[in-house]
Amino acid sequence: MILRKLREFLRDESGNSLVTLVIACIPMVYILAMIISFGQAFYGVQVAMNASAVGARAAALHSSAASAYTAASEVAKDYTSRAGMGVSFEADDLSYSTWSRKEKFEYSVTVKVKTAMPMNPYGNGIRESFTPTRGCPAIIEGE
């Protein structure tokens, strides 16, 4: 009796739409994950860009490279810590030649974007994290 009912259930066509939905769900979820990850990565680039700008502005006021780097890192870390959306501070770099007034330098920031829906079944999917880097040039103002 039970087996017959089960067989009927398996053979009837009432689950057509459900099967179609299940098949369609896989690419839909993947597309959703792509949209979310793309948004996160794009936001991460913006955060890195702005963090490097505020860091460079803080660094420019200092008279020594060491204190400039410390100040820039502090500001950039503070900025990225408030960014949200899975974005966090990863690394930074201060490039200069001698650190003297009116000389050009560049402060760059790398952020880590942890994707909300990583899907990487075959090695070429959505990665678990992105690390965009952006830099901002500025002129040293410190005496």
When the beta carbons of 126 and 136 are compared against other proteins, the nearer one is 136
Q: Return the sign of the alpha-carbon dihedral for residues 71, 104, 66, 86.
A: positive
Write down the least CB distance from residue 135 to other proteins, Å.
8
* Residue 140 touches other proteins, criterion: CB under 8 A: yes
Write down the least CB distance from residue 101 to other proteins, Å.
7
CA nearest neighbour of 34 among 110, 133, 127:
127
* Residue 55 touches other proteins, criterion: CB under 8 A: no
Residues between 75 and 104 that touch other proteins (CB under 8 A): 101-102, 104
Q: In the structure encoding, which two tokens stand for residue 106, read together?
A: 């560049």
Question: Which one of 48-56, 65-73, 78-86, 122-130 is the stretch in contact with other proteins (CB under 8 A)?
Answer: 48-56
Write down the least CB distance from residue 123 to other proteins, Å.
26
CA distances from 59 to 30, 71, 86 (A): 42, 6, 26
Question: Which one of 41-49, 62-70, 74-82, 111-119 is the stretch in contact with other proteins (CB under 8 A)?
Answer: 41-49
- C-alpha 59, offset from chain centre: 24
User: Which residues are paired to 109 by β-bridges?
Assistant: 92, 134
The three-class DSSP label of residue 26 is helix
CB neighbour list of residue 133: distance below 8 Å, 6 or more residues apart: 48, 108, 109, 110
For other proteins, the binding residues (CB under 8 A) are: 13, 16, 20, 42, 45-46, 49-50, 53, 56-57, 60, 101-102, 104, 106, 135-141
